[in-house]
Chains A and B, each alone.
Chain A
Amino acid sequence: MRSFTRVRTAVAACALSGVLALSGCSVLGEESGGSASAGAGEAGAGVDDAASPEADVPYDVVPLLKPDKKYFGAAVEGAPNSTKGLDTYAEMVGKQPNLIEYYAAWGDGFDATGVRNAWREGAMTLMSWEPFDTPVADIAAGKSDTYIEEYATAVRKLNLPVVISFADEFNGHWEKWGTKNVTPEDYVAAWRHIHETFIDVGASNVIWAWSPNIVNPVKSVKLEPYYPGDAYVDWVGLIGYWTIEEDGAFDSVFGATRDQVRTFTKKPMILLETAAMAGERRRADIRNLFAGVTADDDMLGFVWFNHKKRADWRLEASPLALKEFKRLAADDSFGFDVRKP
């Protein structure tokens, strides 16, 4: 009887220690898994794991701010929501663009699908956010806060890098948010307010491109009063086109603006919208474009505006120019996979 009791005690003790060991193991496994994954790098994260809404680690866009190679961008009809036009363009120029620009009105929802589509192709999305119906002063005064917060939350959740250019060509009188309607103070206040809201929500995965039109047509408008400050801007995006009214030198198009911007900031620049008017000079203009971007280390690249709007800026309009474009774009320094900067 006594030996039976002893056996029973021993069995109970064994069972207990077994339970203990098991619970210990599970806890240990969990813990060590945590520290092991802490060591794993985020670099090269594919779209699927980076895009997971639960992603704890915010996407770090800093390596994309000034990459070694140039951005090779395009604004193509339907992209990035539909990749059809993009594929056609890529085939046409012989290289996959890595920056896709599209235009959205203030009040539109965030096109997460588009951004994901582009990302899958190795391209980042540049969204030009245009306040057609909402006064910039109202935005600055916080009247659109709910919208901004929702938008920013969506951007944060997607956790992929996005470039946002708010109210571009603000220095032009032709836009609704241009010099006729908006004061520099309101513009700066609105910009900062949007930026701060995004940061508050944790959407640090936005690259902020401050995008004036080149000063050539509006020489009287000084840019500095419109500048929100280095803490609020990542890129200076220049918008300018080669037209027959001016000579085709790179500096003639962008020089004056660049020089003026360089008086108040050293932020890297990008040609946020550019193209050359169809015509005899087009091939030379394209050559100048590539040469100008290559020559300047602070020039991150360009976005070719491949639309027929006011003029036909599409490359397919002039086969000779397209050929030249294709030849220059083949240079290895243009274009890279934004997923592995």
Chain B
Amino acid sequence: MTSRHDHYTPQPYDPYADDDFTWFNSDGQSAAVPQGQQGQQGQQGQQGYGYDEQYHAYQQQHEQYADAVPQQPVGQHEDQPTYALRTVRYQQVPDEPEYHIPQTPDAGWDDRPSRRRAWVSRGVLVVLMAIQAVLSLRLSNTAFQDEALYLAAGHNIIDHWTNSTPLHSGYESYFSGSPMLYPVAAALVDGYFGLSGARLLSLLCMLGATGLLYSFTRRMFNERVALVAAAMFAVTQPTIVLGWFATYDAPAIFLLALSAWIVVRTNRAPAIAVLLAAPVMVLAVAVKYASALYVPTLVVLAALTAWHHKGWRCLLRAFLLGLGTAALVGVGLMYTDVLAGVQQTTTNRAHGTDSAASLLQKSAEWGGLMFATAVAGAAAYALRGRMNESPRSYGLNGPGWRWRVLLGLVLTGTAVLAPAYQIHLSTAVSLYKHLDFGLLFAAPMAGVGVIRLVGKHFRYPQLGILIWVAALCLGVSQSEWRFGLWPDSTPLVKAIEPYMKPEARYLGATYEVPVYYLRDKTNHSQWTSTYGIGYSDEKGKIHHGREGYRLAIEAGYFDLVVLDGVATPDLDKYLEQQVTKSGHYRMVGTISFELSGGGTGSYKIWTKTS
């Protein structure tokens, strides 16, 4: 056993007794006793008190100077009184000990950029982007009407360029972006890799947007805010859906993010450098006209981000950007014929019947959490500008409050543009897609909001986690719901394929989908949609609306009728009655499908037999 006293002996209290190192030992060395001694101690018995160890350390330290301190000869003069000082040989004793105590930093971490921090943040960003990619990739369905339309149009245009096949005219008049840009690019990818390839292009765009969002938010605030902004943006429904959706939106968002990045990145460069963003912005607008709604935000951002470096000259930067963009847009309008399309699809878009309340509700469901966080962030940022704990930070209180308020207003306010415009138009069409454009700009403020909620030194990380997980859950469920809103067209395409003949005429609800999948066998001009008809009877009189459909069916004008009851349910019922009444048609089959949210329906296909 040990030689420990059997009875308790009170000892002076030593708070550092359990520490591995002590305050006494400030040379940075471990205060642990050398091995030999430790062993000795062990043999002696387990002294429970570090005091002894400290003593050893002290003794050890003291012994270092043994040679330097002259010692009285021992033995000779012991116990004898002395009356004279003996002279001893002088030896130099160092003024300073050879060890030194490092200066204690006033903060445990450094707020200056470092390679390590950059790489750690990028690593986290990669994880976020991986999550975003997985969320998008798990969605699956056949092509949506719009995807099919754009891709088929792209193929048509490419064929026209390469083989001089007839161009199905009129794309300019109803496409919400230039038919020559995205549709052609996507169709090119589609030609090699199919729909998945085209959708992958969108995924790359959305991942790129997340990356750029991180980058420009980091420059405006810091890594933490940037990561949270990217994390929030990456898991919202629109981002997830647009990442696997072959439409204009993903590239347009990417280009807007790229413009924002250029604007923020060039804030210290000469004002002229901001012009680099102009062509990118114009390209974004050309790819999707609705992007123009976000040009003012970028122009204001150009001024705000340069304020600290240029003062009032930052206005020149904004002016240059505005001028450059306007000039390029002017040139574009002069040499292309897109104005009609812009009016039709964007500025004069058909007014719907959706109420403001329902639109607000939808906006809140799909982007509300992020917007609320952004509002909170903007408010918190306006109240206090300091963005980190380090007492050595440059500009502890951040920029002035006016600037902060302005930045918060611009970024958060941008998120309101799309819902406001759609409420003006009373239409919910594509609302979720347009929300994402605004959320891209509100994301930095949402990042600030979450970081402020988490607090200094990550005091309440659970709040940040709570918000992100809530956003993730909403994003996952909503994106899946969104991808189930249209029927899987695979069996339909199979069923009607034998009926695709060069001269045949077809009536089809959402015919864009079969036209895309069966583009080798049919083309747009053979199809009439359920959105409108101009049927010319034997006498050459043109009939529109229900009358037009009725007469056409009665005359057996269509060789195939395909209805799904989704887009125009009332008309579809009417058409079904007419098809049955006419006696010319025989049912090829009904293919039932299930939609997300419990909806069911069926494709009904008739062919003319007499």
Stretch of B33-41, B132-140, B544-552 contacting A (4+ beta carbons < 8 Å): B132-140
Other-chain contact of A60, B126, B133, B581, B589 (Cβ < 8 Å): B589
Known: A31-B196, A32-B196, A38-B517. A204 touches B137 (CB 8 A): no
Contact B126 A16 (CB under 8 A): yes
B153 at the interface (CB under 8 A from A): no
Known: A27-B140, A56-B490. A35 touches B586 (CB 8 A): no
Interface set, chain B 179-210, CB cutoff 8 A to A: 193-196, 199-200
Contact B126 A13 (CB under 8 A): yes
Instruction: Name the B residues within 8 Å of A199 (CB-CB).
Output: 587, 590
Known: A34-B142, A230-B583. A57 touches B491 (CB 8 A): yes
Interface size on B, residues (CB 8 A): 46
Indicate with 1 or 0, residue by residue over B589-604, a CB within 8 angstroms of chain A CB atoms: 1111000000000100
Instruction: Name the A residues within 8 Å of B494 (CB-CB).
Output: 37-38, 40-42, 56-57
Measured between alpha carbons, how far is A13 from B579 in the docked complex, in Å? 60
Other-chain contact of B609, A34, A58, A59, A65 (Cβ < 8 Å): A65
Indicate with 1 or 0, residue by residue over A19-36, a CB within 8 angstroms of chain B CB atoms: 110011001101110110
Query: How close is A21's CB to chain B, nearest CB, in angstroms?
Result: 10
User: Chain A contact residues (Cβ within 8 angstroms of B): what range?
Assistant: 35 or more
Contact A58 B588 (CB under 8 A): yes
Other-chain contact of A38, B199, B490, B587, B591 (Cβ < 8 Å): B490
Other-chain contact of B589, A6, A28, A202 (Cβ < 8 Å): A202
A285 at the interface (CB under 8 A from B): no
Known: A9-B119, A19-B130, A27-B137. A204 touches B590 (CB 8 A): yes
A266 at the interface (CB under 8 A from B): yes
Measured between alpha carbons, how far is A42 from B193 in the docked complex, in Å? 24
Known: A202-B592, A266-B610. A38 touches B493 (CB 8 A): yes
Contact B498 A60 (CB under 8 A): yes
Other-chain contact of B140, A20, A30, A230 (Cβ < 8 Å): A30
Contact B138 A58 (CB under 8 A): no
Contact A20 B133 (CB under 8 A): yes
Contact B195 A204 (CB under 8 A): no
Closest to B590 in A: A202
Query: How close is A7's CB to chain B, nearest CB, in angstroms?
Result: 12
Instruction: Name the B residues within 8 Å of A57 (CB-CB).
Output: 491, 494-495, 589, 591
Contact A17 B609 (CB under 8 A): no
Contact A23 B591 (CB under 8 A): no
Contact B586 A28 (CB under 8 A): no
Contact B583 A65 (CB under 8 A): no
Interface residues of chain A: helix, strand, loop or mixed (majority) = helix
Known: A17-B130, A42-B494, A202-B602. A65 touches B586 (CB 8 A): yes
Contact B495 A60 (CB under 8 A): yes
A12 at the interface (CB under 8 A from B): yes
Instruction: Name the B residues within 8 Å of A6 (CB-CB).
Output: 119
Measured between alpha carbons, how far is A65 from B137 in the docked complex, in Å? 44
A-B contact count (CB 8 A): 119
Contact B588 A60 (CB under 8 A): yes
Known: A12-B123, A27-B137. A62 touches B609 (CB 8 A): yes
Known: A12-B123, A19-B130. A42 touches B495 (CB 8 A): yes
Measured between alpha carbons, how far is A16 from B199 in the docked complex, in Å? 22
Instruction: Name the B residues within 8 Å of A27 (CB-CB).
Output: 137-138, 140, 196
Contact A23 B196 (CB under 8 A): no
Interface set, chain B 117-162, CB cutoff 8 A to A: 119-120, 123, 126-127, 130, 133-134, 137-138, 140, 142
Contact A34 B590 (CB under 8 A): no
Instruction: Name the B residues within 8 Å of A311 (CB-CB).
Output: none
Instruction: Name the B residues within 8 Å of A43 (CB-CB).
Output: 498
Indicate with 1 or 0, residue by residue over B499-534, a CB within 8 angstroms of chain A CB atoms: 000000000000000000100000000000000000
Query: How close is B110's CB to chain A, nearest CB, in angstroms?
Result: 16
B247 at the interface (CB under 8 A from A): no
A234 at the interface (CB under 8 A from B): yes
Contact B142 A35 (CB under 8 A): yes
Query: How close is B553's CB to chain A, nearest CB, in angstroms?
Result: 12
B535 at the interface (CB under 8 A from A): no
Closest to A42 in B: B494
Closest to A12 in B: B123
A231 at the interface (CB under 8 A from B): yes
Contact A56 B491 (CB under 8 A): yes
Closest to B495 in A: A57
B497 at the interface (CB under 8 A from A): yes
Closest to A29 in B: B196
Query: How close is A29's CB to chain B, nearest CB, in angstroms?
Result: 9
Measured between alpha carbons, how far is A301 from B584 in the docked complex, in Å? 23
Known: A16-B126, A27-B138, A62-B607. A37 touches B490 (CB 8 A): yes
Q: Nearest 9 pairs between A and B by C-beta?
A: A58-B589, A230-B583, A56-B491, A27-B137, A31-B196, A202-B590, A38-B493, A204-B587, A231-B580
Beyond A31-B199, A267-B610, 7 extra complex contacts between A and B, CB < 8 Å = A6-B119, A35-B490, A35-B517, A42-B498, A57-B591, A58-B590, A62-B588
A-B residue pairs in contact (CB < 8 Å), sample of 14: A13-B126, A16-B130, A31-B140, A31-B195, A41-B497, A42-B495, A56-B491, A58-B591, A63-B498, A202-B590, A205-B589, A230-B610, A231-B581, A267-B610
Q: Mark B residues whose CB is within 8 Å of A.
A: 116, 119-120, 123, 126-127, 130, 133-134, 137-138, 140, 142, 193-196, 199-200, 489-491, 493-495, 497-498, 517, 579-592, 602, 607, 609-610
